[in-house]
Chains A and B, each alone.
Chain A
Amino acid sequence: MGLVTSLSRKQQRLTRPIAHYTLGAWILLTLTILIPLFYGIYISLLNINLASFLPPQFVGLKNYHTALIAPETWSTLKLTVLLMMMGMTIQIPLGIVLALALHQQLRGTRIFRSILITPMLLTPVAVGLTFRFMFDTDLGIINWFLGRFGIEGVNWLGAQFSGLVAIVIVDSWQSIPFVMLLVLAALSAIPVSLFEAAKVDGASGRQIFRNIMLPLITPTILVIVMIKVMDFLKLFDTIFMLTRGGPGNATTTIGLWTYKTGFQFLELSRAAALGVIILIITFPVYLLWRKSTKVQR
């Protein structure tokens, strides 16, 4: 998050303080993030159930204890990590490949680029709906296509593994453009002189890729990985529309489980506790992020 510029001391003295410019942002963030966050922690110490009209009582860390011994907490967490790994193994290599193709600056690159980034911008809910009927077991076009190769009736949205694959496919359809754009930007930042020098030295395409491009885009890849980790933790709309986390909890990530606990079981306090647990899990990622962005400067 390169937010440091090097201003000379002289410049700093000349200008008047403008820290109060950030006031608006502070207030908004306090209202919409900080206050709910602390309120959420407070709720997690009570026993609020939205369906019951009894006054809530203070139960201390009971909800956390329940969450930690519940198998669902761990199974959904494992599922989230599995999804992350499946997703990234597909999205990052494919994103790099597409970026390389675009980097060639062939004729028509701009058109290709606009086509390829379109999926990234679409409303995930609408995309989920679209793929839902494409993945339909009996009448969906995907199964029709597979059927022509002898693969019959895959139950995409009704079983665990195929459901996860379907989710990964849809998320990749929307995420690969993002990876592609970032890698492309990184590639474009490599000075052309490096490539020319390599050509002069007689390096092959593969050597150029391995020894020049890869090391120089690695920082960007790391950034992408961290963003994707956070995005997968947040992933909701797509799974909601495709499988609703089903069957049962088979494709339920920890975020979806928190939603279910809070809004289907109406157990608001238990959901709040799960939310805090998610926060704690996300914390190391956040720290890593800060550290890496500091290093980049």
Chain B
Amino acid sequence: MKQKPPLLFLLPYLLVTAVFMVYPLINAAILAFHQTNGPAARAFVGLANFRYLLTDPTFGQALANTSIFALCSVLVQLPLSMGLALLLNSGKGWARGLLRLVLFSPNLVGQIFVGVLFSVLFTPRYGLVNQFLQALLGWGLEKQWLNDPALVMPAIVIAALWLYVGFNMIYFLAALQGVDKSLEEAARVDGANRFQVFLHVTLPSMRHVVVFVVVTSLIGSYQLFELPLALLSQSNGRGPDNAGLTVVTYLYDAAFITGDLGLGSAVGWMVAFIIFSLSLAQIKLARVAED
């Protein structure tokens, strides 16, 4: 039975979407072919913005930095999240709840605040990270994390690790609860060791969540901006030799510091293209995982 559309409930959504999403989206497409000087003046430049981006070594570096960060998120942060989830999963009682809360707690702190905090934690000689590494490994007391091009990305990865490791752990922990215990027991009886059971039984049965977490981590990574902006505020969020420049920082500088909203929109479309490709990959992978 078809009814009238319940406009009373839908109207706010339709209005907001038309005015603040569809219209700006069309404008973003138009802007990408223009060069602007702030919001007032614009001139048609055709594909020049995209041509410029594809040949600009700085944008290339931003893309490379962001991709390295995305890879680190998946290859360093997610395995650690999974490890913590596995350690917590077999635990019981109040200690488990408390530890889950503790490990999740950095998520209450926003990226800007984490950047502010870690910009001091990475201080040579006095910073907590420097002193901790020196005490544990005998290395790193005088390291200039935020001024050394080789250490800038590791610093961003460490700060992001602190922030997000517990967040992804929550997903893995929820997925582990749904794994069929009898399958694991059966594999154990057949002589598989703990690692083999995890690789061949546990991991495949939580593949949907793994695909979801990997793709959302990648999508989030390509939009990294606020954390490096605050962390590297001494170099305007870019780091020495642009070593910490991300794609969205590049967009921010182009659109709102330089004032070229056209170039900014072109970068925006690049980000949209990356996210769109990743989302399609997720849909494809989810289908494969169904079989």
* Chains A and B bind each other: no
Q: Which residues of B contact A (CB under 8 A)?
A: none
